[in-house]
């Protein structure tokens, strides 16, 4: 079994390798920030900072006062950074800052099979499903030319070390065999990944998604205001989001997202709906699906709390 890396190691490796895609412009890059700032004399910890709007986020990063590792430009106004206790206290009182939360590990969720195959006339042709996971082995024969490696927040080449993302992609493909499958790798080879990397993946989708699109997130992550903000930004941009929920639950949210124990299957079903209704926005798609696509397989539970990020602390 591979040795489990610490969060800081994963975080640093990803930040160095992918600075070009998630960092600020050259004058504000993490490298230049570190060069201009003396080394911390006390321990630092990783945090996610959400600002009151893009301008506030740019101003904070532009001051080169913090050890910025990632700068998010689309899914949320904010950045990932390392802070000392004193710096954390200073930022918490800054009027430009909305929230600060610790960076943490995000884990893959078990991929469940439906009691019966989800079949129908729709194939998902003309749609793209973004699989936010451990990567996808896009060269597998079952995918043909339908899958590709789109983005790797961990600094690699999109290779799936654990097989989880490929399994998710396979089940999306089974439900929507003609949908494009874009691999957005956010988890590491030891299993989990950093919240900062997940946000980088969603930020990338927000900037690059075109046409009828679905994001499949078979990962945990409850209680994160940053993740919640990024999901809402995707939905507002027209991307239908399917996140993981605990066993036996399917919940459609009015804003345009679904949370279910059968994430890849519902993502495939959503792609099928988008094939027939390519102009449907996420709100309309939610009403079309209404968790009835998998009726008899997963159970609606409208009495559950309306927390979007469910599953024992998981999205």
For 210-247, how does the pLDDT look when each residue is reduced to its tens digit (9 = 90+)?
A: 999 999 999 987 778 999 899 999 999 999 998 887 65
DSSP-derived 3-state class of residue 207: helix
Strand 239-244 versus strand 193-194 pairing type: unpaired
Q: What is the structure's pLDDT at 122? A: 81
Res 8: pLDDT: 40
Kindly give, in sequence order, each residue whose CB lies less than 8 Å from that of residue 141, ignoring residues fewer than 6 positions away: none
Tell me the β-bridge partners of 182: 130, 148
> Domain 106-289, CATH 3.40.50.200 — does that match?
yes
Q: What is the pLDDT of residues 98-124, one digit of tens each?
A: 999 999 999 998 877 766 655 567 899
pLDDT tens for each residue of 63-107: 877 889 999 999 999 999 999 999 999 999 999 999 999 999 999
pLDDT at 305 over 50: no
| pLDDT for res 29 | 36
Mean confidence (pLDDT) of the chain: 78
Instruction: State residue 263's pLDDT score.
Output: 87
- pLDDT classification of 313: cutoffs 50, 70, 90: very low
Nearest-10 crossing angle of helices 263-276, 164-175: 40
Q: Hey, where are the domains in the chain?
A: 7-104, 106-289
One of 1.10.10.10, 3.40.50.300, 2.60.120.430, 3.30.70.80 is the CATH number of 7-104, namely 3.30.70.80
């Amino acid at each position: 079994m591979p040795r489990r890396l610490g969060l800081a190691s994963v975080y640093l490796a990803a930040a160095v390798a992918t600075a070009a895609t998630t960092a600020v412009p050259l004058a504000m890059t993490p490298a230049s920030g570190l060069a201009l700032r003396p080394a911390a004399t006390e321990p630092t910890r990783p945090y996610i900072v959400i600002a009151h709007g893009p301008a506030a986020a740019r101003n904070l990063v532009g001051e080169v006062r913090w050890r910025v590792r990632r700068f998010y430009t689309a899914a949320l106004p904010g950045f990932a950074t390392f802070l000392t206790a004193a710096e954390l206290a200073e930022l918490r009182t800054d009027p430009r800052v909305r929230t600060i939360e610790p960076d943490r590990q995000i884990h893959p969720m078990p991929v469940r099979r439906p009691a019966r195959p989800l079949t129908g006339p729709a194939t998902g042709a003309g749609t793209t499903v973004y699989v936010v996971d451990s990567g996808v082995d896009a060269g597998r024969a079952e995918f043909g030319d339908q899958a590709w490696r789109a983005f790797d927040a961990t600094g690699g080449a999109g290779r799936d070390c654990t097989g989880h993302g490929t399994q998710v992609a396979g089940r999306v493909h089974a439900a929507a065999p003609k949908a494009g499958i874009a691999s957005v790798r956010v988890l590491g080879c030891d299993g989990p990944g950093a919240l900062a990397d997940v946000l980088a993946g969603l930020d990338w989708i927000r900037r690059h998604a075109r046409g009828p699109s679905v994001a499949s997130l078979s990962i945990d992550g409850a209680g994160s205001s940053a993740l919640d903000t990024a999901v809402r930004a995707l939905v507002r941009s027209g991307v239908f989001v399917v996140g993981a929920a605990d066993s036996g639950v399917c919940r459609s949210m009015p804003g345009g997202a679904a949370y279910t124990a059968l994430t890849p299957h519902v993502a495939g079903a959503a792609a099928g709906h988008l094939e027939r209704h390519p102009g449907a926005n996420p709100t309309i798609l939610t009403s079309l699906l209404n968790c009835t696509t998998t009726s008899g397989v997963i159970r609606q539970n409208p009495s559950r709390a309306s927390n979007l990020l469910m599953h024992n602390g998981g999205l």
